[in-house]
Structure formats: C-alpha cells, structure tokens
C-alpha cells in the first residue's frame, strides 16, 4: 500500500495521534488500536538495536510516526553536539518519520547534560544562536523540523522578545515549523501572568505543523507541566480557540508520568478530534 | 563573554548549588524568594531524571537495598558523576565502581558485582540485532576446515567473573522468578554470561571451561584455540552439545571463515 507523505512510504500525520510509551507496546503489537498517528521520544531509540527499535519499526508500517526529541539542546550557547545529532540522523534515516521535532530550550553546558528542558532568555543574541543551530540540524537531517514552545517557571530579565514572538522569528528565519503545545501556553500564562489567547495571536498559523495537548498539575501558585493527567478544561477551551484560528492541525495527546491504560489516551484523543471538528464546522 | 553563554553558565552552576540572592535578583524577574523556590523545580527535575535513569538500569540493586536506600545511592552517585549525555540510557556506567568505593554500600559485599552485571544487561538491551544465523553457509564448510572457523558472538553477549554467585542473585530478583528464593554463597567464584536470544536479555551461570571458550571467541579465536582453552579447564568439555545450545540461544550468531 502506498500512501501520500514522505517518499519512503511513512504517510503524513493527520488528525489526532497519541504518544507511544513502552507500557502500551504490547497492545500496539497485538491489536493495532485505532489512532491517527504515533509520536515517540527520539532518544529512547538511540540504541544500535533491541526491543524498542523493533517495536518502532513494526508500528511504522501501520502508523505515521513522529520523532520528538527532548535532549538536542538547540538553545545552548555551546551549540548542538555532533554525537547527539549523528544519533538522531541515524534514527531518522532508519525510521523515515512523517515528522521530526524538538524543543525551544537548552540542556547542555560544557561537558554536562542537565536532562531537562531549561528556559531561554528571549534575546536577539539567543535568537541568532538558535536560528543557526536549527539550520544546522535541518541541513544535516535534510528536512524541516518543528520546534515546540516549552513550559517554564522563570523569566529572564534579559529577554527582549516574548516567547511567541521569538518562536515566530525563529520559524521565519530558519524555515522550521512550529509545534504549538497548547498546554504549555496555558501553563506559562498562569506562571508568568499573560493572556494565553493573546499569545495565540502572535503565532504565525502557516508555520504550525503540530499541536500538543497534555495534563498539568497545580503546585501552589504554579502550574507544573508533568504530562501526568487528563487535559485540563481550560486547556481544552484554549485548544478550541487554536483550532478556530489555525484550522486542522495534527494534534497529539502526550502522557509521560503515571501512564494510564491505553483507553484513557484514546478517549482524550477522541475528545480532541471532536473539538477540532466542531471548532471548524 | 557573550550574554547567553554567561547566563547559561550561571544557571548551570545554580543547578548544583542553591541559587544565590544576587543571581536570583540579577537574572530573573520576580521577588528573590519566589525565584529561588521556582528555580528549585529545575534542580529537582535534573536530579530526579538522573535518579530515574539509575533506577531503570539497576532494578536488582534497588530490590536488594530497598527503594529508600537506593534513592540515596542514586543521589550520591549523581552528585559525584553528573550526566553528560542527552540519552539517559547512557547514564550510570560508573555506578558499580561508585558502589565499590561508597562506604554505606559496602555492607552488601556482592552489590558492586551485581551492579556490574546489571550494566551489561542494560547495555545488552540496546545492542545491535545480528542477521539470522546462516546454516547453509556453515554446512558448506568442509570438515577439515571446521576447526579454523571463528565463532562470532551476539553483540549483546558479555562475560563477567565474580567472587559471588551473581547470576543466581540476579535470577532470584527477577519479576518473573517463581522458584525458591535461595542463593548458595558457599560455592565460590562464578562466571555469568549475559545474552539476548531475541529481545529479552538473559543471564546464566556458566562453567570455567565454557567461559574460557567464549572469552577466546570474543577475542576472535578459532574454534580450535577456544576448544583448547576450554579443555585445559575441563577435559570432558562437550563442544558439540554446547555449539547447538549456543547457536540456539543466539550466543553464537555466525562463524567467520579463515581469512575473513
């Protein structure tokens, strides 16, 4: 069967997908649950071989696949590490995914890797750096990548642009697409006190290639982006607004801590599909 | 110094030590107390993510010492050996060496060796998948050339020698283990073999002669030299039976012909 999309046959992502985690491997191998597409964390498949890659190669023949990186550290002043990029390239060559994405953040400093999505100062200097790093990654992978807005708990005094103006400029200058995480927009609007709907107005719709939805947790005055629960009602409302503004964008349900039975994820995905259709009707 | 690099250097330093009042004020928006409390979320994340990686690689060590003590070990390890790779499956390579030198952990004499074994098991999960065994190619080798074949082991295969019965200790701590929870510590030093028949990593205790044969093969030796090494330890070493077993369990995945 030949489907439109990447030339090698992994079709384009469409509709609503879910994050594939090890807990649900068996169900995907045995019964092929109905979902539009699947996204995995790239770094979990950096090995030479073994079970995880076996599962990914199996599901790629049935679902469009998105490789979502969490550790490339595109925002580090040190630049992108050759070795990490080489492993990502090896995986992209092996899976030929429909989408490749990463985060607008940093994690490396000298020899260290902090294994977290650390926030950036939104300065002109940082923008130049990130543009050059994204360009290098796209040149190496020979494809466009999507960059995701992250949730954050702190803001730098040095910032000269808003987070979303920074992302818009990055997309314009590097040619990358935007992975709009609606939950992160909401989390940051609470943590930093801005209007999340206004933030959507800053984002160029034509650059958006994917939307993320996930749950968050409240810790006092802060919202923590823990991907450990159902999508919050306010985030669903913001998603409806995003759908009205941006049209049909492939949407992903993410869940990374206290991962529930697959049915819960599929239920969240069905909700996203309903809202997306209704918003565009 | 460029501003981005300077800010990241200060941010990174504060992930190891508490954020200073001056940094809180100068770098971030908001009242210093609020900034410090929010900053601690990042410090907590980076510690927790490293600890989670250690837990995933060393589940048997965790079972032996208990969840709480293990959390302390993971934290102490992380403060000595910070992560350097974005792939957290790479983190934890020095945990066994750390345990051997860390006084609170040395009351379990076999703990460091179990950790050594677990690291090999962890690495074996991500080792390359060999091509299927080519029996026809082997059958075409004439009998007089057979001893000059060089066995090639699966990339996931590792040998480990210990003063303790670590393969048995590992076995009784598996989720799937259903036998008697008993380890005979009186039997002295033992060899463990890590192998991966398909995708599930297994560990077996093997004899001195078997270990000598496989060690010779790992070094690229011929069947003849490997056999001599094994027979020097056990004159009754049964090569025919073991070859069938090892090919069947993907310990041996190919044979190189002379000159290959």
pLDDT of residue A8: 52
State whether A115 and B126 contact (CB < 8 Å): no
* pLDDT computed for residue A10 by the predictor: 76
**Cβ separation of A156 and B89 shorter than 8 Å?**
no
* Chain segment A179-232, per-residue pLDDT in tens: 999 999 999 999 999 999 999 999 999 999 999 999 999 998 999 999 999 999
Q: Say whether B89 and A44 touch across the interface (CB within 8 A).
A: yes
User: pLDDT digit string (tens) for A143-186?
Assistant: 999 999 999 999 999 999 999 999 999 999 999 999 999 999 99
3-state SS, one letter per residue, for B78-123 = HHHCCCCCCCHHHCCCCHHHHHHHCHHHCCCCCHHHHHHHHHHHHH
Q: Which of residues 39-58 of A touch B (CB under 8 A)?
A: 43-44, 46-54
Residue of B nearest to A78 (CA): B5
DSSP H or E stretch at residue B76: helix B67-80
Q: Which residues does A2 contact at the CB level (< 8 Å), separation at least 6?
A: A9
Q: State which residue of chain A sits closest to B12, comparing Cα positions.
A: A109
Chain B residue nearest residue A222, CA to CA: B38
User: What's residue B76's pLDDT?
Assistant: 96
**B5/A77 CB distance under 8 A:** yes
Q: Of B38, B53, B129, which has the smallest distance from its Cβ to A49's Cβ? A: B129
Task: Say if residue A3's pLDDT is above 80.
Answer: no
Of all residues in chain A, the percent with pLDDT exceeding 90 is 94
Q: Which of B218, B237, B221, B115 is nearest to B159 (CA)?
A: B218
Write down the pTM of the prediction. 0.95
pLDDT band, residue A5 (cuts 50/70/90): very low
Give the pLDDT confidence score for residue A9 in this predicted structure. Answer: 57
Under an 8 A CB cutoff, do B27 and A157 touch? yes
Q: What is the pLDDT along chain B (260 residues), one digit of tens a residue?
A: 489 999 999 999 999 988 999 999 999 999 999 999 999 999 999 999 999 999 999 999 999 999 999 999 999 999 999 999 999 999 999 999 999 999 999 999 999 999 999 999 999 999 999 999 988 888 888 888 899 999 999 999 999 999 999 999 999 999 999 999 899 988 889 999 999 999 999 999 999 999 999 999 999 999 999 999 999 999 999 999 999 999 999 999 999 986 66
For residue A109, the distance in angstroms to the closest alpha carbon of chain B comes to 7
**pLDDT recorded at residue A7:** 42
């Amino acid at each position: 069967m030949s489907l439109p999309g990447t030339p090698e046959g992994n079709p384009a992502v469409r509709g609503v997908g879910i994050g594939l985690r090890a807990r649900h491997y068996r169900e995907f191998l045995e019964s092929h649950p109905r979902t539009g597409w699947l996204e995995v964390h790239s770094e979990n498949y950096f090995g030479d071989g073994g079970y995880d890659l076996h599962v990914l190669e199996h599901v790629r023949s049935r679902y469009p696949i998105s490789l979502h990186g969490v550790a490339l550290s595109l925002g580090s002043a040190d630049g992108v590490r050759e070795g990490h990029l080489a492993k990502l390239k090896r995986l992209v060559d092996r899976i030929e995914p429909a989408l490749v994405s990463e985060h607008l953040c940093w994690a490396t400093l000298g020899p260290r890797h902090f294994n977290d999505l650390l926030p950036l100062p939104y300065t002109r200097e940082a923008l130049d750096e990130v543009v050059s790093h994204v360009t290098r990654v796209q040149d190496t992978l020979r494809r466009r990548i999507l960059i995701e807005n992250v949730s954050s708990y702190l803001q730098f005094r040095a910032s000269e642009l808003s987070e979303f103006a920074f992302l818009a400029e990055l997309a314009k200058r590097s040619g990358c697409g935007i992975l709009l995480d609606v939950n992160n927009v909401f989390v940051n609007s609470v943590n930093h006190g801005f209007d999340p709907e206004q933030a959507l107005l800053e984002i160029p719709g034509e650059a958006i290639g994917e939307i993320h939805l996930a749950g968050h947790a409240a810790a006092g005055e802060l919202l923590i982006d823990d991907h450990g629960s159902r999508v919050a009602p306010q985030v669903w409302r913001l998603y409806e607004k995003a759908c009205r503004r941006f049209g049909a964008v492939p949407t992903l349900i993410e869940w990374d801590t206290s991962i529930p039975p697959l049915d819960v994820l599929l239920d969240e995905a069905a909700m996203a599909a309903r809202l997306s259709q209704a918003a565009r009707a | 110094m460029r501003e981005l690099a300077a800010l990241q250097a200060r941010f990174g330093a504060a992930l190891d030590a508490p954020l200073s009042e001056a940094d809180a004020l100068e770098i971030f928006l908001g009242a210093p107390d609020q900034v410090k409390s929010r900053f601690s979320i990042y410090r907590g994340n980076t510690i927790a993510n490293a600890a989670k990686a250690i837990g995933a690689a060393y589940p048997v060590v965790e079972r032996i010492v208990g969840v709480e003590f293990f959390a302390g070990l993971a934290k102490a390890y992380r403060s000595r050996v910070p992560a350097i790779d974005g792939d957290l499956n790479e983190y934890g390579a020095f945990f066994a060496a750390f345990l051997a030198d860390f006084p609170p952990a040395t009351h379990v004499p076999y703990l460091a060796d179990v950790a050594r074994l677990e690291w090999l098991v962890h690495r074996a999960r991500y080792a390359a998948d060999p091509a299927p065994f080519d029996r026809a190619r082997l059958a075409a080798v004439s009998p007089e050339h057979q001893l000059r074949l060089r066995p090639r082991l699966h990339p996931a295969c590792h040998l480990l020698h210990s003063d303790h019965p670590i393969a048995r200790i590992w076995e009784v701590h598996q989720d799937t283990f259903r036998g008697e929870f008993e380890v005979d510590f009186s039997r002295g030093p033992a060899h463990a073999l890590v192998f991966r028949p398909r995708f599930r990593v297994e560990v077996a205790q093997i004899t001195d002669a078997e270990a000598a044969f496989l060690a010779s093969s790992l070094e690229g030796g011929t069947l003849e030299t490997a056999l001599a090494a094994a027979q020097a330890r056990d004159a009754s070493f049964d090569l025919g039976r073991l070859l069938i077993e090892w090919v069947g369990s993907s310990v041996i995945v190919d044979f190189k012909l002379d000159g290959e």
